[in-house]
Amino acid sequence: MQKSILEYLEHTVKVFPEKIAFADDFEELSFRQVYENARAIGTFFGVKGFTKEPIVVFMGKHPGTITAFLGVIYAGCHYIPIDEEMPKQRIELILKSLKSVTVLCDKETFPISEEYGFSGNIYIYMKI
């Protein structure tokens, strides 16, 4: 029996590796792709020394966002989802309460993320 979301993913990728896990009108990801991409993100943050830290996931609504959430969990960190449609004041409040921030964004949200003056590092999902 799986005890965490990562165990569930690892079990599912063994049973249904090529089955579509997430899809939208422009992209679809199999369970294998989700697993491999999430592990790559987790390894990236692990090598950078991030553990038990908040990582803001500031991405649009697409299958890669779910992969980013799982990758942050693989790194041993916790994710804070921020949507570009949130009110600016709410985003600023979240960032202020986190103090030092690491942000994972996509190429569409990267320009917006710079506008908020994040005090930490900004990484682009597609470059990991």
CATH value at residue 19: 3.40.50.980
Instruction: Give dist(CA 101, CA 121) in Å, integer.
Output: 7
Domain of residue 107, residue span: 5-127
**Is residue 54 very low, low, confident or very high in pLDDT (cuts 50, 70, 90)?**
very high
Q: Is 100 helix (H, G, I), strand (E, B) or coil?
A: coil
pTM: 0.92
> How many domains in the chain?
1
pLDDT at 118 over 80: no
pLDDT at 84 over 90: no
**Helix then strand then coil, % of the chain, to nearest 5:** 45, 20, 35
